[in-house]
Structure 1
């Protein structure tokens, strides 16, 4: 397997041969070969701080906290077994943990990779300074590209914040799925081939579920007792060790990758996993490097006849393209992006996002999936949950908080571009139009509508799908902002027709009914 490190751009050069230059391994940097830990001599001292205060700030999913704390403790034990001297400090806050560490080792300089979350590097530097310690922040190598490489490219690129331009640049620079200077197969992006709906007799490939060991079970019980969590306390099945993360990658490539491409955007009420990789929790913790996933997918495509190009390209686009893209957008667009609200949406998140109590099969089913596993795949996130919330008029910041708390793979740098910008069209930094849709999309791409109490073919009247009336209401109330968008001209022609024939008045009445139903818990 290729050495896990950024392949677009040059990683920082620094030295850890001095025993007092000590790797500080954060809870999302759990890779033994990357960053300061990868440069430290075997047997070196390592700092890890398990801070608990963040977990009390919001009702995080039980599985998310179990995942983070179990993975950290496993990593600690694995390093100790390999001969490292791990100073593992459990504390309420990072400041308390750092104070304890420097009381024990006052001559050390901690060396840590920058976290991708906004201003985290500055905050950590301030905390270390406040307790009288020293900190050296270095580049985060748990991505495929460096900050400097992106900034240099973006400086002369008019479409730097358009994913397609970025993705093609990453493909060219990395050489992934390239041949004779162009993309393998002649097309850069096969998204149009990722939208098939599986036949009724299609069976999703098996999901890899690692065995839950005693340490993870103990962490799960401790999390339930210690914190005010949301979500099921049963059924935890995410990799918490490097070994299990590599096994999950192998399983995806061997069993699920061939089916991933064609059905990437499809949804099934009884199958939240479909053929998705389910690797984002491990990648975002650092247990897997994204380049390891990219090279495994590319190798499978090149060596196996059963892996179609749309599956390989679709997976590469997620790891090499989208994940890298939102990381760079986030750091350039913050702090404004977190509070962006260009459409002035100010409604509270409906209670159904927390309790799942709604007759809307798509929304209720997707919330139930998140409740059970802390996961629903990207089309459920964008075209069901974010779509409904955006049509409803939910404040993007509140929607972002919900995603951040409830998904096992969610961190602020991940959710903010995906939710505030892509899901809620909050800023315009890269989204060229709102990603909103009526029931027609959900009906076409899923089986939710078949058993739903609401009729996807009706817009008004009792039993009409809420998405339909909310869609036209959304377009009407945001007309001043959206009508001039060149990608919205066609749909606003339909708005004009509905206004002229009086149908909009009926739609407004239906929306008023829906809002009353939601307040009464009857939606």
Structure 2
């Protein structure tokens, strides 16, 4: 029996390895030829696979490392050597992947046994039994998971006096605040060789230099320890903040390691809870982080699983404009967008508020095709996979679907001004809606609400927004529409 490990299933203690006669890893390149991925994303995946190969060999496993354009090519070679082999694989979360892989194996005379994916704590069967049917509500799921896993609870009640501490976690740092240090994992010889190969072999978008992501379980564990010790205490209060020239703040930077399988969710959650138990981090920070891992990440996996393929098709608001070129070249005077796009280009990463309230917010307001934005996230982020970007971008980010969200997460420039220091150094005036120097977010925001009023007015929690819409007169609306139209033209021209 051969265990087939995919390139994002790399935890050395994964249950799928139990009793393995040999381990198969396939380094396929065709997927990376279809899009201009970020070089740090490709370098991370391929370097992590190559390090996993060497670690498994050192641990005594017989490892078969195949390279080819596609899985099919590599499986041809495998079954020539091992005719009729039985393969065991953790069920991949991407829609349709399990069926496609089974067909590849069985058409070559082998068998494929699928087992649960231990990169998640809540199995499909457990989620389906809990959910039953109806709406998808994250808060209900999160509380159920806290009780089910015994995380930050006592006799079924939340420790610290509440299930969440969002109100305490919306602060902006004082001017004299400096973020905790960012851990760096300098590429070793194998990783440098991999990065060189990626640069030569593929057409990429983004900066290769400065790569410092963990590519082994040991480095990922060190990154977790570093976060818990140095960054977690201040993570909570400033998790929604944006600061100029700072790409990481106090965020964990662990999502790529979790999604590659270099870390397991339980070890991450336990490390954070342990910091609270020994009074090394406040409950506000620990709960906020646990919510991301135990709540939102698990929830997204199952919403994706239960709503595909409909989730990835269509758009509630029927938008079709091209994604502005600034998402690729970073050419814009808008400081918040310039910062966020630069973070993605330089690091393959931007934190969740930049993703939601800057990058997704602007694309939503300008009327860009949400599927093109989803593609951009998938290409540019080191932690992006179809199962995670699709619900986040199409649901939370752009309201292309209402599968699990009740309203679009859009805002004027006021939100950016409240949660960042960007507006004070921006040539656009955040307090103005119309006029040449007015913040683009403002006119686009009001025009968006007016354009989609028929769909949105009675949706979810939109009442307050539309009470403000109703106060504006015709002359003001004419000025807003004119400003928004010109902004969309400039965004399309790359002159914003």
Report TM bin, short chain: over 0.9
1:337-364 CA deviation, whole Å, 9 max, x = no partner? 1123101111110000000001111111
Gaps of 5+ in 1: 1-20
Distance 1:521 1:288 in 2: 40
Q: 1:71 aligns with which of 48, 51, 56?
A: 48
Equivalences for 1:113-512 in 2 at 5 Å?
Answer: 113-155=90-132, 158-159=134-135, 161-304=136-279, 306-498=280-472, 500-512=473-485
1:342-398 CA deviation, whole Å, 9 max, x = no partner? 011111100000000011111111000000000000000000000000001111111
Distance 1:206 1:426 in 2: 37
Give how far 1:501 is off.
4.5
RMSD: 1.0
Task: Name 1:9's counterpart in structure 2.
Answer: none
Distance 2:250 2:426 in 1: 24
Q: Is 2:9 the counterpart of 1:32?
A: no
> Are the aligned partners of 1:35 and 1:113 in contact in 2 as well (CA < 8 Å)?
no
1:58-82 CA deviation, whole Å, 9 max, x = no partner? 1110000000000000000111111
Distance 2:264 2:348 in 1: 21
1:125-162 CA deviation, whole Å, 9 max, x = no partner? 11112222221111111101111000000016x55x11
Distance 2:141 2:469 in 1: 34
Distance 2:230 2:368 in 1: 39
Give how far 1:211 is off.
2.2
Moved over 3 A (4+): none
> Are the aligned partners of 1:95 and 1:131 in contact in 2 as well (CA < 8 Å)?
no
> Are the aligned partners of 2:406 and 2:460 in contact in 1 as well (CA < 8 Å)?
no
Give how far 1:486 is off.
4.4
Task: Name 2:487's counterpart in structure 1.
Answer: 514
Give how far 1:405 is off.
0.4
Distance 1:441 1:40 in 2: 53
> Are the aligned partners of 1:341 and 1:396 in contact in 2 as well (CA < 8 Å)?
yes
> Are the aligned partners of 2:407 and 2:460 in contact in 1 as well (CA < 8 Å)?
no
Give how far 1:484 is off.
1.0
Gaps of 5+ in 2: none
> Are the aligned partners of 2:324 and 2:494 in contact in 1 as well (CA < 8 Å)?
no
Give how far 1:453 is off.
1.4
Give how far 1:450 is off.
1.2
TM-score (norm 2): 0.99
- 227-236 vs 104-113, which moves further: 104-113
Distance 2:241 2:434 in 1: 27
Distance 1:55 1:267 in 2: 32
